[in-house]
Amino acid sequence: MNMLVDGEWRTDAYETAGDDGSFDRQEAPFRDQVRDDPDATYQPEAGRYHLYVSYACPWAHRTIIARALLGLEDAISVSVVDPYRGDDGWQFTPGKDGCTRDHVHDVDYLRELYVKADPNATCRVTVPVLWDTERETIVNNESKEIMRMFDTEFGDYATHDVDLYPEGYRDEIDRILDAIYEPINNGVYRAGFATEQAPYDAAIDDLFEALEHWDDVLAAQRYLAGDRPTEADIAMFTTLVRFDNVYHTHFMCNVQYIREYEHLWPYLRDLYQTGVADRTEHLGDSNVEERPASEATRETGIGETVHMDHIKEHYYTTHPEVTPHGIIARGPDLAFDAPHGRDELPGDPPSALVGASSDE
């Protein structure tokens, strides 16, 4: 792994494994907050903040989904890096399908923005990044916190009536986010980047014990926190949607496919098919009558944020210590759009969201 050391790019500085061969993830270094408070340094404003993402990265994918479901596309602009991350780190290749240039500074590499924010930065260069165009700096590069800020601080600029961190659910959402992080979200990396058998085995045991647990939970309820989708489901989704195509093979998480779980697989399809309904009143037009839920269709959805081509290219070409030849595995071709039957369980998406019917 490469990183910045005192503002200089180093290709020999960051080791992913600890002394015992276990994966060691560095904490995100930029942790400022956008707050809807007149005294806050970073206040929510339309057009002020810019989001840097990779479609391949599950952490960045969280923020992409939240931005789309909340309807913040016009308020928060975005730039997309190349899925391949070489010796120079994340790069901008606007001529490549799905990638963009850096719309703010037009630099070639994401690391240049880290140095703009902190000329003496010592850290890994990761996505997502929330950039403040007014103060010319990075606000935050921790995915869970960016997702939370989008949901709780940008309400005045959201065009969809969606709440992913609702009152009455917040303690449970926070508990679940903590519960799934180490064994599942980070667990696939703990397995894939382990360099000794013992830490790999421990990661695999934790991962599949946790997957079995949540498969059991989802037998009786539609979503992780109960009867509505929340931030916790987004955090679970971005790992599960990559699992069979990447983690099962590339990271040796091959005890079981997600598509072999009785409840996790329909749950994943349910989320994939969930999106914002085309009810015009949610865009602020009070003169248009709301369509009945039975007639609503998705205007944009979680599935549209999944770029499997970027995901597979990134993992199979970027980690030579895991797959040294850069050959991209061909399969599997999963039917994410197949009926899921989850709408038979108690609970529904919020009124602004709609999912596919189980009898489609």
Confidence of residue 331 (pLDDT cuts 50, 70, 90): confident
Q: What is the predicted pLDDT for the residue at 320?
A: 84
- The stretch 5-21 carries a mean pLDDT of 81
Q: Which of 55, 84, 114, 189 is catalytic?
A: 189
Number of domains in the chain: 1
Q: Is 214 annotated as a binding residue?
A: no
Q: Which of 42, 49, 52, 57 is catalytic?
A: 57
Among 90, 63, 226, 64, residue whose Cα is nearest residue 146: 63
Q: Is 286 annotated as a binding residue?
A: no
- The stretch 65-70 carries a mean pLDDT of 98
Taking every pair of Cα atoms in the chain, the longest distance, rounded to a whole number of angstroms, is 64
Q: Which of 161-170, 241-250, 325-334 has the lowest mean pLDDT?
A: 325-334
Q: Please state the separation of Cα 99 from the chain's center in Å.
A: 17
Q: Is the pLDDT of residue 15 over 70?
A: no
Q: Let me know if residue 242 belongs to a domain.
A: no
- The stretch 67-83 carries a mean pLDDT of 97
Q: Let me know if residue 263 belongs to a domain.
A: no
52 is catalytic: no
What pairs with residue 79 in β-bridges?
Answer: 52
57 is catalytic: yes
DSSP conformation letters of 174-241: HHHHHHHIIIIITHHHHHHT--SHHHHHHHHHHHHHHHHHHHHHTTT-SBTTBSS--HHHHHHHHHHH
Q: What is the predicted pLDDT for the residue at 290?
A: 45
Element (H, E) at 110: helix 110-117
Q: Average pLDDT over the chain, rounded to whole?
A: 91
- The stretch 331-347 carries a mean pLDDT of 93
3 state SS of 261: coil
Q: What is the predicted pLDDT for the residue at 297?
A: 61
Q: Is the pLDDT of residue 110 over 60?
A: yes
Residues with Cβ within 8 Å of 97's Cβ and at least 6 positions away in sequence, in order, are 309
Confidence of residue 326 (pLDDT cuts 50, 70, 90): confident
Which CATH number covers residue 149?
3.40.30.10
- The stretch 43-57 carries a mean pLDDT of 98
Q: What is the predicted pLDDT for the residue at 289?
A: 41
Confidence of residue 14 (pLDDT cuts 50, 70, 90): low
What pairs with residue 276 in β-bridges?
Answer: 300, 353
Q: Let me know if residue 118 belongs to a domain.
A: yes
Question: Alpha-carbon distance 86 to 317, whole Å?
Answer: 9
Question: Alpha-carbon distance 156 to 5, whole Å?
Answer: 39
Q: What is the predicted pLDDT for the residue at 8?
A: 97
Q: Let me know if residue 87 belongs to a domain.
A: yes
Q: Is 239 annotated as a binding residue?
A: no
Q: Is the pLDDT of residue 277 over 90?
A: no
Q: Domain of 147?
A: 1-155
Q: What is the predicted pLDDT for the residue at 296?
A: 53
Q: Is 127 annotated as a binding residue?
A: yes
Q: Let me know if residue 12 belongs to a domain.
A: yes
Q: Which residue has the tokens 């397995």?
A: 191
> Using one digit for the tens of pLDDT, what is the confidence trace for 123-151?
999 999 999 999 999 999 999 999 999 99
Q: Let me know if residue 34 belongs to a domain.
A: yes
Q: Let me know if residue 122 belongs to a domain.
A: yes
Q: What is the predicted pLDDT for the residue at 354?
A: 87
Q: Is the pLDDT of residue 287 over 50?
A: no
Q: Which of 102-106, 156-160, 277-281, 300-304 has the lowest mean pLDDT?
A: 277-281
Q: Is 80 annotated as a binding residue?
A: no
Q: What is the predicted pLDDT for the residue at 261?
A: 98
Q: Is 357 annotated as a binding residue?
A: no
Q: Let me know if residue 183 belongs to a domain.
A: no
